[in-house]
Structures are given as C-alpha cells and as structure tokens.
Structure 1
Amino acid sequence: MGEFELIERFFKRNQPPTLDGQAQPAINSVVLGIGDDCALLRPAPGMQLAVSTDMLVEGRHFFADVDPAALGHKALAVNLSDLAAMGAEPLAFTLALALPPERARDEGWLGAFAHGLFALADAHGCALIGGDTTAGPLNICITVFGQVPAGQALRRDGAQVGDDVWVSGTLGDARLALGALRGEWTLPPDVLASARQRLERPTPRLTLGQALRGIASAAADISDGLTGDLGHILKASNAGAAIDSKDAFHLIAFCAGPSSASDSFDKEFLLKLTLTGGDDYELVFTAPPSVRAAVQAAGKRAAACVTRIGRIEEASGLRLIDARGRATPFAARAFDHFA
C-alpha cells in the first residue's frame, strides 16, 4: 500500500464530521480540505483564529504497545485541550504522520488509529483538512485550528492579585498509571484500569473553556503538571500564588473506589502526584472572587467539577499552605524534555 492509497483509505473523508446526525456549524469554516496544496479556512465574522500544534513520539509520549484507537484519540485530544484553555471552538486539524514500514502495512493498526482519531473529531465537529505522511519512527504531529470571539480568548497573562485559582476535574490519575506501567509501583487491577483510561483517553474541556469566556481572567491546560502550568500563568501575569494543600487534596480522584490507592501510598506522595504529575489535560484558571457563583454555574453547564484551590498574590513564586496555615515555597517547574 503506497502513501496516497494509505491516505485515501484511512484518512480522507467524503462527509464532514457530524454530531447527532447534524453537521456542526464550525464545518462551514472549511472552504477547502484534503486534496490541494493548502486547505482554506474561513472563520466566522468577528472571530479570531486559535492555532496549536502538538507532537507525540513513540517511547517519549506513549508506549509502543498502546491501543491504537486510544492513541488516535489522545493525539487529537491534547491539541483540543489547548483550544479549551483559550476558550476556543474547534474548526479543523491537520495530521502529519511518520510511520515505520511495519505500521504502514498494518491495516488493523491504521484502521483502529483512524477510528479513535475520528471518533473524537466527530464529537467536536472538527474536520481533518490535510497533513503529510512519511516513513520513519512513529511520530504523530497534529495542528488544530479553532475560533474565538475577538478579544475574548482566555490567556495566561490576565491573572490579577486577589483572584481565585481553580482547577477542573481531578488530577494525578495519569501519572499514577504511568508509574505503574513503568514498574515504579503496583496498583490493584481496577485502579490501574481506571487510571490508565485517564492517561490514554483524556477529555478535553472544550465546553468548560467556552463557558468561562468573560468570567476567567487567565487559563492554561494542565499537560505538564498543575504547579508547572500554573507557573506559566504566574510568569505571564507577573504574580505569585498560594495553594491550600487541603483544597488541592480534593482533586485526587484515585483516593476513592473499591481498591483505593490511598491504601498503598501516603498522603504526601499522593498530593505531590496531584500537584506535579502531568498528562491530566484539565484546566487551571483564575477568576475574581466576585464571580465564584458564575464559575460554579459554568462548571455545571459543562458537566465539569470545578474546585477552588488557592489565590493569586503579589509576591512572586508559588507557596503551598499546610494544614496549620504555614506557607512553604514550592517549585512551579513544568516538565521539560531537554532539562
């Protein structure tokens, strides 16, 4: 099977993505998709383009034996999460795919990968409009395009002193699963299965991001760990923050359930996993105390739990407040591939 046959069979689609049988409004922005030298997009009047690129490399971002459908899902999900952090609506994406020869010949693997990819794309009305394929080590690079009303994008540089710090969903499961799969620790089978789902099939918080437009002052998606990604907001906003450890502990999902991970690990370890683990693809955002009810209402509309964990302060740096009210400096370092 040659390059162009591979594209035609697995990645070229004749119909736009649909949700409940209806084409999504965002698809009207795709003027020209796969088949020419460039795709053409037309954002709606009064909208700005939001563009993000992420690369997944075998052995660095995923295991060689990962379920290809889950890999297809995650490859797009991590990009959609960036749109969510900006409050943007998905329009389309491109796919650059490097395949080892054995993968290029494996129709079952390609079919499952494409299924996982397009299932998520269809759920959000996001069309594949082009890309590239080549031979090489397995490498997946997606660029996603979205739109957001002009002047309403959620940015990292808007946090103000006195703002609350919020987090969506729960944190730490992905890192817990990664450690178990690497052999760093062992988990009961049901806990591992649940945590692995969070690692391999993250949920981009697109509806929440859009609901927070005009409410949140700053936002980022949590890909490299809560404290690291909050650190990006603090740096861009020239501010510091204090996180209440007892509130942050409520973000831990794997402490409950039939086989609790808390039976095997102490609270300090679990809290560190939650603060620094990464690969959660939830949102961390800030908002004035005066809009707490609006934040809760936005979370309810988006069917996403939101938890207030701290506040923005004038003094630079990040501090963790313990149960006795004592503040301890905490390094807000994000994951760095070259550190």
Structure 2
Amino acid sequence: MNAEQLFIKTLRDCGALVGAGDDGVLLALAHLRSQPLDSRANSMKNTRFTQRFAHISHPHKCFVIAADGFCEHIHFKREWLSLEQIARKAMLVNISDIVAMNAKPMYALLSITLPTRSGFSLSQVRTLAQSLAQSAKAHGVRFIGGDTMSGRDLALHITMIGVLRGKPLLRKGLRVGDLVYCTGRVGGSLYALSHLLKGGVLADSRRFSRFIAPRLRGEFIHTIAPFAHVGLDVSDGVLSELHTLAKCNHLRFHGLKKSRIHAYKSGEEYEVLFAIDPRDKVRLARLARRARVELELVGRAGRVGKIPKPKTWH
C-alpha cells in the first residue's frame, strides 16, 4: 500500500469519505433534499452510492464534481511549457474528468499558488490569468470562486462542476465478456515526457500535442453513453485504469497486446477507456467513423486473465 492509498483508506475508515471512486462524484440535489440527514449518511456508505442517481432525468438536478491539481515539479516544469500551455492543460485535465462521465462542464473553483517571490512578474501573472480565462470560455466554464496564495512553486488546484447529460459512465458496471476500448492512440504523452527528461524541448507540433494539450472526447462519449457499461479517463495510463476496473468489478482481462504494453503505461493521455457488449461492436464502429474518433480494442473482460499492475506517475 502506497502513501496515497493509505491516506484515502484512512479517510474512509474514519467515516469521512463518501462517494469517491469515479472520475467525479455525482451529487443529486433532489435525492439529497428528500432524505433526512441520518438516512442520507447511511446511504452514502453504500458502495453503489453514485449509481443510485442514474435515474434522474433533469441534468441540472444532478451535478458531477471533480477536483485535480496541476503542480510545478510534480506535473510539469516551467521550462517545458509556456504559461499559456500550462493554463490550458490545467483546465483540460480537469474538464476531462467531467466529460468522461458524460457530463458538461459548467463552473470551476480555482485555488492557485503564484510564485511571486521568485521572480514571477506581474506580466506573467496577467498572462496566466488571461490564458485560464480563455480556456474556460472555450469550454463554456465560468470561475465562481477559489483562493490565491504566494509560494515557491506554481500550483493550480481546480474543482470542476458539471451537469449530467444523460446516463453517467461510472467505473462499476463491467460485465464478463465486455470488450474494452480506448479512444485515440495512447503512448504519445510518455514519448514526450521521455524526450523532455533527456533534455529535449517540445515544439508545438502534432508529435507532442498529446502532452501539450490533450484532446477531449466529450461529444463522442455522449453518443456512446447509452450503451457503454463503464468509462474513465486515462490519466495514469491504460494499465493503471484497467487495474482500477479489475478491482472495482472483481474481473480480469485477457487479449492485451504485448507490443502495446509500453504505450499502455503512458500517463496523462486523457483519452477515455470504456467497455461495451460485443453485440454493440458494429454500432460503436459506426459512431466512431461518424465522429472521426480512432478506437483501439484493448482487451476483453472475464473471470480469468490478468489484473494489470498499475504505474504511479505522481
């Protein structure tokens, strides 16, 4: 058990953690208002807590809330990316959690540490703020609050709030025989990171685009959500996400291509891993062609096979 797992387990054991486990948490206002506090607390202990809200038809009655950090020397180095690229990626990695669950991002809370005591100029502060605003507007997001601090390193912690667009895609729900797919062609982010760690620089080109600005698949996810069984964004690598699915659903995987294992370790891809019934394979292919989204068949879920070993990046 690593430090992150121990931290989360301790919160859960103390009874202070509820609803966590998916890319975001579903908060159904109508459901919460209809229950007394003690009943609500008991329902939240149920491992199927988030699935209780799938029946709510009006999207504004069900919010999806997710939070992520984007920190210097952990997720990026300032010599790797421009301030505009840092701001854009910080927004995209948070929006990715929302769209992967079939929701539309609406609002954001931003807590930011500005390294103003280490030569970070007012001009740079303005550039960062303008870039965050532009990225927010491009995706229909408005900032509604947060906090600003001064510190040694640049760090952005964003809480994103979205509204459900229909059936949510959760991590539980994988079935025996399901085909597991990944959007796009993962591996590019690890290639870019390896290039940077060797002293290279990133040109704003297609070769490094996945690391600089991940491409989100919100509209495609919305079209397949009615028949997809599970879904999650690939933030820690396909192998890590498969490990999560295996543990959540008590299943294993087979059919993984050995030639793709290295690419499946690539973190910060922000593609979407999802599963369907084999009978929906033709339907999926048709929708992918229409949306011009490349798909990769990763493997099949079953009672026998492997539970992939995760790789921790941060």
Correspondence 1:229 to 2:241? yes
- C-alpha displacement of 1:119: 3.0
Give the aligned partner of residue 195 of structure 1.
207
Q: Secondary structure at the match of 1:147?
A: strand
Give the aligned partner of residue 110 of structure 2.
95
Correspondence 1:282 to 2:271? yes
Label 1:221 to 1:243 Cα distance change in 2 as closer, same or farther (>3 A): farther
Correspondence 1:245 to 2:257? yes
Question: Does the CA-based 8 Å contact 1:241-1:313 persist in structure 2?
Answer: yes
Correspondence 1:217 to 2:229? yes
| TM-score of the aligned structures, taking structure 2 as reference length | 0.74
Distance 1:94 1:290 in 2: 41
Label 1:172 to 1:87 Cα distance change in 2 as closer, same or farther (>3 A): same
Give the aligned partner of residue 67 of structure 2.
53
Give the aligned partner of residue 29 of structure 1.
none
Correspondence 1:312 to 2:301? yes
Distance 2:140 2:298 in 1: 33
Instruction: Report the number of matched residues.
Output: 256
Alignment of structure 1 residues 1-339 onto 2, 5 Å: 47-65=61-79, 66-102=81-117, 106-136=121-151, 137-149=153-165, 152-183=167-198, 193-245=205-257, 271-315=260-304, 317-318=306-307, 331-335=308-312, 337=314
* Unaligned stretches of 5+ residues in structure 2: 1-56
Question: Does the CA-based 8 Å contact 1:48-1:149 persist in structure 2?
Answer: no
Distance 1:300 1:129 in 2: 38
Deviates more, 1:114-123 or 1:135-144: 114-123
Question: Does the CA-based 8 Å contact 1:241-1:312 persist in structure 2?
Answer: yes
Task: Give the AA of the match of 2:77.
Answer: F
Question: Does the CA-based 8 Å contact 2:87-2:132 persist in structure 1?
Answer: yes
Distance 1:108 1:294 in 2: 51
RMSD across aligned C-alpha pairs, in angstroms? 2.5
Distance 1:243 1:336 in 2: 25
Question: Does the CA-based 8 Å contact 1:225-1:335 persist in structure 2?
Answer: no
Q: Secondary structure at the match of 1:86?
A: coil
Distance 1:174 1:67 in 2: 17
Cα distance per residue 1:45-85 (max 9 Å; x no partner) = 56411110000110110012221111111101111111122
Question: Does the CA-based 8 Å contact 1:103-1:109 persist in structure 2?
Answer: no
Cα distance per residue 1:19-38 (max 9 Å; x no partner) = xxxxxxxxxxxxxxxxxxxx
Distance 2:136 2:95 in 1: 9
Distance 1:297 1:124 in 2: 26
Question: Does the CA-based 8 Å contact 1:49-1:147 persist in structure 2?
Answer: yes
* Unaligned stretches of 5+ residues in structure 1: 1-42, 247-267, 319-330
Task: Give the AA of the match of 2:69.
Answer: M
Distance 1:235 1:146 in 2: 27
Label 1:202 to 1:124 Cα distance change in 2 as closer, same or farther (>3 A): same
Question: Does the CA-based 8 Å contact 2:107-2:160 persist in structure 1?
Answer: yes
Q: Secondary structure at the match of 2:100?
A: helix
Distance 1:299 1:86 in 2: 18
Give the aligned partner of residue 326 of structure 1.
none
Question: Does the CA-based 8 Å contact 1:87-1:211 persist in structure 2?
Answer: no
| TM-score of the aligned structures, taking structure 1 as reference length | 0.69
